Amino acid sequence: MKVSVVSRSGREVVKGGVELKDSAKVADLQEAIHAKTKKYYPARQRLTLPAQPGKSGKPVVLNQKASLSEYCEKGSGSLTVVFKDLGPQVYYSTLFFWEYVGPLIIYPIFYYLPVYKYFGYEGERVIHPVQTYAMYYFCFHYFKRIMETFFVHRFSHATSPVSNVFRNCAYYWTFGAYIAYYCNHPLYTPVSDLQMKIGFGIGVVCQIANFYCHILLRNLRSPTGSGGYQIPRGFLFNIVTCANYTTEIYQWLGFNIATQTVAGYVFLAVAAAIMTNWALGKHSRLRKLFDGKDGRPKYPRRWVILPPFL
């Protein structure tokens, strides 16, 4: 079968098109495009069907695992696909690693090294116990996230554009430094012993719960990352759609109760806003997908992210 590959403006991306076997899959087409263009490896490619005149809405994205013949019009032995370059890609695990390794290194720098000298604070620095616990807590958190990235998470999509690395690292590294600056400051004011214990207590419980949520999410997908959307079940997922975010948010709340810095609460608010946005999207997708019609299961009534508020 003959496949012509064009850009959105209609220009041919592969001169003369690609000739493939009738049984070829979309993945074979992507390999062929890569071989011809050299530059565009499969993860960089986004292939869609050309927009039908008179029809509005999102174009149909070709599924990598599907057979090309599924997209052919009946009887015709040819196909036209629209090619979009997604730009250079990195693995999600690489992206996550660089996001998390920043705070993991930056925080102890503020704890161990005499950085405050350069901010104009001379003299001996007395370290409160809460500052030491906070340093271990903070580092454990990011260490856990790196370990989960490599050994627990299964990604539905393997890669992300390189530009996201810079944006996300700027976010995590800056907030990491901002929080570390106040938590390790020579003029830091600690909270009462009881408040510290309550805070870290909540935090540790939530981190363990968060880890269990990630295990449950992992089991929804096959090792290759396929499996599509499923109703998450078990443990906190029976109450909340995005229990993984719930535990993450309450975990930071615990840290903030124990350390009590405005910087920490600002980070909590921003992170909660971002995660709420994702959670609303996921919740509505699941509700749409599992509508209880035509034998599909009905999505159960659940909180979205932050019981008892949302």
Residues of this chain that bind another protein (CB under 8 A): 182-183, 185, 187-189, 259-263
Structure tokens belonging to residue 101: 């390794």
Cα(51)–Cα(41) distance, integer angstroms: 24
* Cα dihedral 84→160→166→144 (10° resolution): 180
Q: How far is the CB of 24 from another protein (least distance, A)?
A: 36
Q: Exposure of 78 by Cβ count < 10 A (0-12 exposed, 13-18 middle, 19+ buried)?
A: exposed
Q: How far is the CB of 209 from another protein (least distance, A)?
A: 27
Nearer to another protein, 159 or 260 (CB): 260
Cα(278)–Cα(305) distance, integer angstroms: 10
Rg, Å, the chain Cα set: 25
Q: How far is the CB of 178 from another protein (least distance, A)?
A: 11
Let me know: does 44 contact 90? Beta carbons within 8 Å: no
Nearer to another protein, 121 or 143 (CB): 121
Q: How far is the CB of 191 from another protein (least distance, A)?
A: 8
Nearer to another protein, 241 or 256 (CB): 256
Structure tokens belonging to residue 159: 């890669």
Q: How far is the CB of 182 from another protein (least distance, A)?
A: 5
Cα(148)–Cα(146) distance, integer angstroms: 5
Nearer to another protein, 183 or 240 (CB): 183
Nearer to another protein, 223 or 273 (CB): 273
**Strands 78-85 and 45-48, bridge-based pairing:** antiparallel
